[in-house]
Amino acid sequence: MANFIKTQLNRTKKAIHMGATLVGGFRAAQKIGAFQSPPRDKLPKYIQIFCRKMANSFGVEVIQVEPVPQTHGLWVSNHISWLDIPVVGSVAPVFFLSKAEISEWFIFGRLAKAGGTLFIKRGSGDTNTVSHQIADFLRGGSSVVFFPEATTTDGKHIKKIHGKLLQASMDTGLPICPVVIAYVDKNGKISDDAAYCGNRTMAESLKRVADSAGIRAYVLPLAPIYPDGKSRNELTQILQERMEAGLSQLHKQVLTA
């Protein structure tokens, strides 16, 4: 009974923290006029603050293993969880991609619009159309992040990289800026609670993160990849190798068990 009460109190505390973060996000967006016309030059600072607070509301501490450079480019990250969005957003000067229908959501849709999210309009799954939209976004001065594995993992390895969206880097000449993430529990092991993969539902994932204690999200920036003179296949292979080596390096640095 005592454990049940403790668990419920912990969940309530984190829910209140998350609610306060959402309210703070709305207030900040209102203050800078983001609901009318998102000021893209000012937004990254506010997005990073909001994302850091959102991660903290779930009890997740974000740690930069090395300072993340605030480079304008096409950002990519390994994909472990829905937590990746606030984690990457808290350290990198990026805007996010989202399905167009999310823009209609009452709370998160309004915040996403105010946060300058690029809402992707897919035409029969046309990846080329998406990469063109990203390229236009990049040309406008807004950095974008996406997850090239196209699915989540348990955080122990990098799956096959899908490089079609790297075309946006080739079209603009801007660098691909990779980062790798590792979620580590209080025992120094890869956190199973943080992973959102397999048959785990969103509700189950939220509960596991809320009930866990001491999750740290370590972020390691990797050397940028410039598209000059490279084919898309070559860029994809370089990115695959760099992210695999980077995740291995990160694990060696932060795992103790």
Strand partners, 178: 76
Closest CA to 78 of 211, 190, 2: 190
Q: What is the pLDDT of residue 8?
A: 75
> Which residue matches tokens 């092991």?
189
Each residue's pLDDT tens digit in the chain (257 positions)? Answer: 666 677 777 777 878 888 888 888 888 888 888 888 878 888 889 999 999 999 999 999 999 999 999 999 999 999 999 999 999 999 999 999 887 777 787 777 888 888 888 887 755 456 678 899 899 999 999 999 999 998 999 999 999 999 999 999 999 999 999 999 999 999 999 999 999 988 899 889 988 988 888 899 999 999 999 999 999 999 999 999 999 999 999 999 999 97
Where would I find the beta strands (DSSP E) of 34-167?
A: 60-64, 74-77, 94-99, 118-120, 143-146
What's the predicted TM-score (pTM) here?
0.90
Q: What is the pLDDT of residue 12?
A: 79
Helix (H, G, I), strand (E, B) or coil at 74: strand
Residue 217: which H helix or E strand, with range?
strand 215-221
Distance CA 130, CA 141 (A): 17
3-state DSSP helix/strand/coil percent for the chain, to nearest 5? 45, 15, 40
Helix (H, G, I), strand (E, B) or coil at 134: helix
Distance CA 103, CA 234 (A): 35
Q: What is the pLDDT of residue 19?
A: 86
Distance CA 158, CA 160 (A): 7
Q: What is the pLDDT of residue 124?
A: 44
